[in-house]
Amino acid sequence: MPHHLLTLLDFTPEEAGRILDRAAAMKAVNYRSKLLDGKTCILIFEKASTRTRVSFEVAVRHLGGWPIFMTQNDSQLGRDEPIRDTARVLSRYGDCLIVRTFGHDKLEDLASFGSIPVVNALSDAYHPCQIMADLLTIREHSGRLDGLKLAYVGDGNNIVHSLINAAARFPIKVAVASPAGYEPSAAVVAKAREQGADVTVVADPAEAAAGANYLYTDVWASMGQEAEHAARVKIFAGYQINDALLAKAAPGAKVLHCLPAHRGEEITDAVIEGPASIVWDEAENRLHVQKAILEWIFTQGN
Q: Does 178 bind ligand NVA (CB under 6 A)?
A: no
* Size of the residue set binding ligand CP (CB under 6 A): 9
Out of ligand CP, ligand NVA, none, which partner does residue 219 contact, by CB within 5 to 8 A per kind? ligand NVA
Please work out, in degrees rounded to the nearest 5, the angle formed at the alpha carbon of residue 134 by the alpha carbons of 129 and 139: 125
Alpha-carbon span 5 to 91, nearest angstrom: 16
Query: In the bound complex, what is the minimum distance in angstroms from residue 113's beta carbon to ligand CP?
Result: 25
Query: In the bound complex, what is the minimum distance in angstroms from residue 111's beta carbon to ligand NVA?
Result: 20
- CB burial readout 207-233, b (16+ within 10 A) else e: ebbeebbbbbbbbbbbbeeeeeeeebe
The DSSP 8-state label assigned to residue 183 in this structure reads P
Q: Does 178 bind ligand CP (CB under 6 A)?
A: no
Catalytic hit among 130, 139, 257, 288: 130
Phi first, then psi: what are they for 296, rounded to 5°?
-60, -45
Q: Does 134 bind ligand NVA (CB under 6 A)?
A: no
Q: Does 235 bind ligand CP (CB under 6 A)?
A: no
The nearer residue to ligand CP, 254 or 286, going by C-beta atoms, is 286
- The helix or strand, by DSSP H or E, that contains position 199, with its residue range, turns out to be strand 198-202
Q: Does 289 bind ligand CP (CB under 6 A)?
A: no
Q: Does 166 bind ligand CP (CB under 6 A)?
A: no
Alpha-carbon span 44 to 94, nearest angstrom: 12
Which range in 79-87, 161-169, 214-222, 285-293 contacts ligand NVA by CB under 6 A?
214-222
Catalytic hit among 62, 127, 232, 288: 127
Q: Does 218 bind ligand NVA (CB under 6 A)?
A: yes
Alpha-carbon span 180 to 26, nearest angstrom: 42
Among 19, 36, 258, 294, binds ligand NVA (CB under 6 A): 258
The count of C-alpha atoms lying within 13 angstroms of the C-alpha of 38, restricted to the half-sphere facing its C-beta, is 0
The nearer residue to ligand CP, 52 or 268, going by C-beta atoms, is 52
Q: Does 158 bind ligand NVA (CB under 6 A)?
A: yes
Contact between 23 and 288 (Cβ < 8 Å) = yes
Contact between 100 and 121 (Cβ < 8 Å) = yes
In this structure, what is the dihedral angle of CA atoms 58, 123, 282, 291, given to the nearest 10 degrees? -30
Q: Judge whether 218 counts as a catalytic residue.
A: yes
Residue type, 213: N
The residues in 40-59 that bind ligand CP, with binding defined as CB under 6 A, are: 49-53
Q: Does 157 bind ligand NVA (CB under 6 A)?
A: yes
Q: Does 258 bind ligand CP (CB under 6 A)?
A: yes
* Size of the residue set binding ligand NVA (CB under 6 A): 9
Among 9, 148, 159, 272, binds ligand NVA (CB under 6 A): 159
Contact between 56 and 40 (Cβ < 8 Å) = no
Alpha-carbon span 177 to 224, nearest angstrom: 22
- Looking at the annotation, which residues are catalytic? 100, 127, 130, 218, 258, 286
Binding stretches for ligand NVA (CB under 6 A): 122, 157-159, 218-219, 222-223, 258
The site for ligand CP (CB under 6 A) is made up of: 49-53, 122, 130, 258-259
